[in-house]
């Protein structure tokens, strides 16, 4: 079964509004989670590293004020796309490492469409 769960799997929002995507680790604690995005027919690109109890670390070129990340607990990280624009439409995926094994698991992904 899934060890990392994302919600919602699909969301449509109006331009200018904000949308929140949740990433939960199931049955394990994740002090660090990662957020990626994938544009059609492109690779997965790391957006930011989400650290429990501290500020996220953003990759170069990613607007931290636009993509708000909150890692308030050891099992939940949220990504909020603020003032969404059509160009933010993408597939967003989170991941977390299970420390009992050397494997990094991904959530199911969230498809965001901004209209």
Partner 1 sequence: DQQVKQNSPSLSVQEGRISILNCDYTNSMFDYFLWYKKYPAEGPTFLISISSIKDKNEDGRFTVFLNKSAKHLSLHIVPSQPGDSAVYFCAATLLSNFGNEKLTFGTGTRLTIIP
Position 74 contacts partner 1 (CB under 8 A)? no
Which residues between 2 and 21 bind partner 1 (CB under 8 A)? 6
Q: Which stretch binds partner 1 (CB under 8 A): 13-21, 63-71, 82-90, 92-100?
A: 92-100
Position 34 contacts partner 1 (CB under 8 A)? yes
CA distances from 40 to 47, 48, 70, 90, 107 (A): 16, 19, 26, 8, 18
Position 100 contacts partner 1 (CB under 8 A)? no
Residues 7/26, Cβ–Cβ less than 8 Å: no
- Using CB under 8 A as the binding criterion, the count of chain residues that bind partner 1 stands at 25
Pick the closer one to partner 1 by CB: 52 or 70: 52
Q: How many CB atoms lie within 10 A of CB 9?
A: 12
SS3 109: coil
């Amino acid at each position: 079964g899934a060890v990392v769960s994302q919600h919602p799997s699909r969301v449509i929002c109006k331009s200018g509004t904000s949308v929140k995507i949740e990433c939960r680790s199931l049955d394990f604690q994740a002090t660090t989670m990662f957020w990626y995005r994938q544009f059609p027919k492109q690779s997965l690109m790391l957006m930011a590293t989400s650290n429990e109890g501290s500020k996220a670390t953003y990759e170069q070129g990613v607007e931290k004020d636009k993509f708000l990340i909150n890692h308030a607990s050891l099992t939940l990280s949220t990504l909020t796309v603020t003032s969404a624009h059509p160009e933010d439409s993408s597939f967003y995926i989170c991941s977390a490492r299970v420390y009992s094994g050397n494997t990094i698991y991904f959530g199911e992904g969230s498809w965001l469409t901004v209209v």
